[in-house]
Structure 1
Amino acid sequence: MVNIAKIAVGTLLAIALALGVYGWMLAKAPKSADPQAQIAAGEGQPASTINVVVAAKALVAGQALKAEDLQMAGLTARPDGAYDDVPAAVGSVPAVDIPQGAPILKGQLVTGLALKVPEGERAVAVKVDESVGAGNRIRPGDFVDVFFVLRRDGNEIDQSQARLLLSRKRVLAYGAASVDALTSQQDKADGKQQANSPESARTAVLSVPVAEVSRLALGGSNGSLLLALRNPADTSEPDMEKFSPLPGVLAVSLPKGAVANTPLEGADAAQAGVAMSSLAGATGVNRSNLGARPAAPMNAGTAKPAAPRVRTASSDSSLAVEFVRGANSQTVRY
């Protein structure tokens, strides 16, 4: 037994000696030449760079980015929302000023419904409910006709009327659903009716040419609007050349040689505005007696309210009195 114990002790001592020699040899070995290991050990090697899109010059908020406004630059770390190539960022609109050399980040750019509004048009919200919004069957991307109803009002409107106000306008949003952020498929799959779902919508956002925004605002504030859903393939619209243009509220200063009856368009028409009397029709109720007469142009710079006039006309059995106030008239028979 004593011999066996001596043999075991000797074996363990030999193993310990061998391990000690091996450790001494590792300590004396040259350090690794692997560059990745050197970088990990922080021995002064430069870190690898990542190419991202940066501003080639100072960029102003609200102006679309062009290719010459951008360039590629190497950064030691990739910022969140950075672009990998210039074409992907071209056409985006910064929401804030971006200094030269700063990376272009998606969080700095304009997003949302504004990017879905075509040039020359404006996004306008109108109040809706189940009856106004075609039974809440309207969805973002649909096209609608806007009708309006004006109720009788002795001050402005001689007779109640209903007619087409705007034709074939695109719906950008209905309730919380919009063309840029539709209701999530998960919510639909769960069968959950959200508080802001189309069934409980209170507003619809329409894309309207800027020249027609005044009509929509005036018609909606003084009457009732009705959205008529239409097939998107139906592109028919009224021939506006058959109707006289509505006179503007503001006076127009015409340059020398300009044609006086040239209709205003776009932002100029919106600036001129439209009056409620013109939108409702400037002639009176009894057109059969008076004959159709065109609306008198409204010129805020020179026009003055006309004094009330009374004209009488006799017939075989009654007396007709016509009251004329400005462009409006009304005939009363006694």
Structure 2
Amino acid sequence: MSSRVTMGLAGLLLLGAVFFGYWGLVLSRQPEPPASVQVPPPTVIAQATNSAEDQTRQPVVVLTRDVPPFVALSAADLRLEKLRTAPAGSLSDINQALGRKPWRQLNAGTWLNEQSFDSGGALARMIRSNERALAVAVDEVIGAAGQLSPGDYVDVLLFLRQDTSNPQQSAQIAVPAMRVLAVGEQLGLTNDGEPASPALSNEEKLKQDQRRIAARTVVLAVPEQLLSRMMLATQVGVLRLAVRSSEEQRLAQYWAGTKSASGHLDVANSNLFQFTQLALSGAPRSQVAQPNGAPRAAVEVIRGNQITQQSP
């Protein structure tokens, strides 16, 4: 009996040895952990991204601080910025601006082009060579209820009251198709399509719009040949500014020296009524019918500042 117990115990021990031996073999064959992937630090990733972006960006010369007029630019005033889209005509090399003198105040952050060094202020850069900028006093009625904006086109209407020097009251278009350059302090665009005034914050824009509505002056681009007429119109009668439709696409060429410009001037002259002192060429004389029905020219009689038409 004891031998059988002994053999049973021996068998159990053998089975336990086999089991634990197999278990140890399985544990010894577990897969090795995968090799760790080395991730580059964030700074390396950022440098690689910036390098890729730099290849698609374009350099633009920008001012680092406010620059007064007539002072040569130094290296401390300039820096290169990489932009996705470079403004048209902008300088791309600091050497292009180094030592040059702007003719007007330039603010920090302004990107430079050749117009940055042209002479003249904002208004001078908003008109053509055959135009003059003329300020006109307005109120809420004259200025289209305060809704005028730079870039609008207006007809200048003139009303003449009846008095001793003007026997018949009249209303007429003194000068048509005038471009509005500025309303109060708000300026429009220069001839190269850029804003004449520096960029403003949203709060500053809101304040500027409020001042525009209450503005008491409007600056118009007046053709040189109509400047005297416009000046006289502001002195002899009551003005109104009639806004023209934005659908008139050819207004920009109305007085721009095209072949039709002289025709527009003739039409403006012929439309003058009881306002001969403003016509560039004398207004056509009125005609008086003769007994036989044929028209007979009247004689223009001038007494001091009075002009009358009398039959011969």
| TM-score relative to the length of structure 1 | 0.45
**Larger RCO, structures 1/2 (Cα 8 Å, 6+ apart):** 2
Rg larger in structure: 2
